[in-house]
Amino acid sequence: MGPHGKIKIIQNATGGHITRTTTSSRLFGAISLSKPVLKLIVSSVQSHVEQYQDGGLMACLFCLLLVESSLDCDVNRSILADLYQVFYDIVDDYMNSDECACKYELDFSNLEAMMAFVQNMYDSKPFCGLYGYQLEEFSRLILQTFLQCIPDMASSKASFYTTRIYLLCVKHEDMNYSRNLNGLVIEYPELSSHVEKKLSIKRSLDSASCHRIKVALVNCSMSGDAESELNANYEVATGVNPDMFYLEKILSFCYQLVTLGTGLVICQKVMHPQVKEYFRKEGVLFTDRLGAMPVPYVQDVTGATPIGLLTEAPSDGMFGWIDHIEHVVIHDKSYLHLQEVDSCVITLVLATPDEDKLDELKTTTLGVLRNLERLIIQPEVLFGGGCWNTHVASYLRHHVAQNLSALASTHDCSESLVSTSAEIFARCMEKIAMVTSPDSMDHLVDVSSHHVWRVTKGEINDISTIRHSASLKCGCGLLNGTMVKDFQFLNEKLSGPKYKEFLVSKPNSEAIGCDIVSDSLSVVVNALRIAVNTASSIITVGQFIHDTN
């Protein structure tokens, strides 16, 4: 995981489909667990991943490290669980405070910094297959798409049903085929998938007396199947076919749509062939089998309200409007491109040759977009690459040492017990920093900023040889060897007066370059919360009852 994340390959022990991934959401979805403890951990972490689309592996690892370390120590587990919650609160308060020296504010006007943030996220997911120039171009596309979908302050639309970015995945040999299109692109198998056709669509006068395309969005079936749609007990007179009767009602509804000047009918479910034939005859464009996922995007583009009842005439407020519709062919598939001048909905076309990579790219892109959304609300990021882990661990040790007697008194335990528990918590955070790098590395922490540093294993015996080395950089890339006073191996216990100090000032914003490895603050804080809560629950459980049948 982290900036040096590796590809995971998962297959059932008895064979079957092989899943390759570097994302936690796909990893958790591919594994089947029988152990109650593991089920609980994965279930808890999945709730975090569903909301944040990132940080799942870190949350899972931190939880497991806390549980394992708790089982190996002699401290009462109930006291440990209580103290873990206290330590999390200390860490949370510090990371969200203005004094926190391991975070900085990301400037949205600095496109280079924003590009670096996006590239970091894709760089940590090697299975996406983005490297070098291709990574840079794809990151630029994602950032451009995100910025374009932000609504104008003067926009008349106050709220949206979606995130305004619709992902369209296509299998294509060239990843550079990925692009964005203003508006919404939906499948349209009614026309040729080889040649784009110019469409002639009926237009009507809208409320502003402009000629535009009127749109009806239907979210119930237009197949004419009375039993599945009416969902009620009813009596049928002799000689009456209920399906034909219901089809006549649908055709009557369609007649009203035509009379009201509808130019496009979009059905979420299935249309009866006679309904399609009627629309063709009347020159109305139609599409069916849309599915549930694109419906909210259609609402955002057109302003239409889904029609769920075909036995009553639709009101004017249920229709939507659109400026232009084009038939487009994307990689041998036919689509309709719905375009609206004032809409900020964008279709992002993701292209890659492999099905697994396409899923990976989609999952990662959703995570990137979700992180960018959160940055608008909270534009703060942490120094990544393991640096925030070691920094926060050092702060926790310092804070606990400064308030040791008060913590011991509050929790009715000895000071040594509080110190031991804090050391467990801090060590687990540092272990996360250690797994974010290759196995062939030794890890050090500097005594001034408490960032993590990596050198090839066995390369140095004397730390003094790497002091003042301009070529040596910390995990996040903010500092080099000339900017620190001294180092300590991370697996050595910090001791001595100089290591008990925590006099760290926030770095100057001008000194923070665009090549910094960073992590989203909100993602990290929530991942830690989930991990601590889950670990505390597990270590206080006395017994699991597991049905093996």
If DSSP codes are grouped into helix, strand and coil, which group holds residue 520? strand
Average pLDDT over residues 349-372: 92
Residue 482 scores a pLDDT above 80: no
The percent of residues in the chain predicted with pLDDT above 70, rounded, is 89
If DSSP codes are grouped into helix, strand and coil, which group holds residue 40? helix
Residue 90 scores a pLDDT above 70: yes
DSSP string, 284-300: -EEE----STTHHHHHH
112 compared with 66, residue with greater pLDDT: 66
Mean pLDDT of the chain: 86
For the purposes of burial, counting CB atoms within 10 Å of the CB of 40, is it exposed (0-12), middle (13-18) or buried (19 or more)?
middle
Residue 294: predicted pLDDT:
93
- Helix, strand, coil tally for the chain in percent (to 5): 45, 15, 40
Average pLDDT over residues 527-543: 92
The residues, ordered by sequence, that sit 6+ positions from 503 with a Cβ below 8 Å of its Cβ are none
The percent of residues in the chain predicted with pLDDT above 90, rounded, is 46
Range among 126-130, 208-212, 262-266, 482-486 rated most confident: 262-266
Q: What is the pLDDT of residues 136-180, one digit of tens each?
A: 999 999 999 999 988 775 555 556 778 899 999 998 878 888 999
Q: Where are the beta strands (DSSP E) in 144-261?
A: 165-171, 179-182, 184-187, 204-205, 211-218
Q: What is the pLDDT of residues 183-201, one digit of tens each?
A: 999 999 888 888 888 888 8
373 compared with 490, residue with greater pLDDT: 373
**Residues facing residue 182 across a β-bridge:** 346
**Which CATH number, 1.10.560, 3.40.50, 1.20.120, 3.10.450, labels domain 33-104+382-539?**
1.10.560
Its sign, for the CA torsion 189, 190, 196, 201, is negative
Residue 89: predicted pLDDT:
96
Residue 35: predicted pLDDT:
84
The residues, ordered by sequence, that sit 6+ positions from 412 with a Cβ below 8 Å of its Cβ are none
Residue 145: predicted pLDDT:
95
Query: Which CATH superfamily does the domain covering 184-342 fall into?
Result: GroEL (3.50.7.10)
Residue 488: predicted pLDDT:
82
Residue 499 scores a pLDDT above 60: no
CA atoms within 13 A on the CB side of 96: 12
Q: What is the pLDDT of residues 294-313, one digit of tens each?
A: 999 999 999 999 998 887 77
Interatomic CA distance for residues 87 and 97, integer angstroms? 15
DSSP string, 197-219: -------EE-TTS-EEEEEEEE-
Q: In Å, how far from its chain's centre is CA 146?
A: 14
Residue 248 scores a pLDDT above 50: yes
Residue 456 scores a pLDDT above 90: no
Residue 498: predicted pLDDT:
43
Interatomic CA distance for residues 121 and 234, integer angstroms? 57
Q: Which residue has the tokens 């302003």?
A: 303
Residue 497: predicted pLDDT:
41
Residue 65 scores a pLDDT above 70: yes
**Residues facing residue 266 across a β-bridge:** 217, 287
Residue 511 scores a pLDDT above 60: yes
Residue 326 scores a pLDDT above 50: yes
Q: Smallest Cα–Cα separation from 197: which of 321, 326, 106?
A: 326
If DSSP codes are grouped into helix, strand and coil, which group holds residue 490? coil
Asked if 443 contacts 489 with a C-beta cutoff of 8 angstroms, the reply is yes
Residue 493: predicted pLDDT:
53
Residue 107: predicted pLDDT:
85
Segments making up each domain of the chain, as ranges: 33-104+382-539, 184-342
Residue 1 scores a pLDDT above 90: no
If DSSP codes are grouped into helix, strand and coil, which group holds residue 166? strand
Residue 542 scores a pLDDT above 70: yes
Q: What is the pLDDT of residues 385-412, one digit of tens each?
A: 899 999 999 999 999 999 999 999 988 8
Angle, helices 36-52 vs 521-539, to 10°: value is: 160
Asked if 21 contacts 30 with a C-beta cutoff of 8 angstroms, the reply is yes
Residue 129 scores a pLDDT above 50: yes
If DSSP codes are grouped into helix, strand and coil, which group holds residue 41? helix
Residue 64: predicted pLDDT:
95
Asked if 447 contacts 488 with a C-beta cutoff of 8 angstroms, the reply is yes
DSSP string, 64-102: HHHHHHHHHS-S-HHHHHHHHHHHHHHHHHHHTSTT-SS
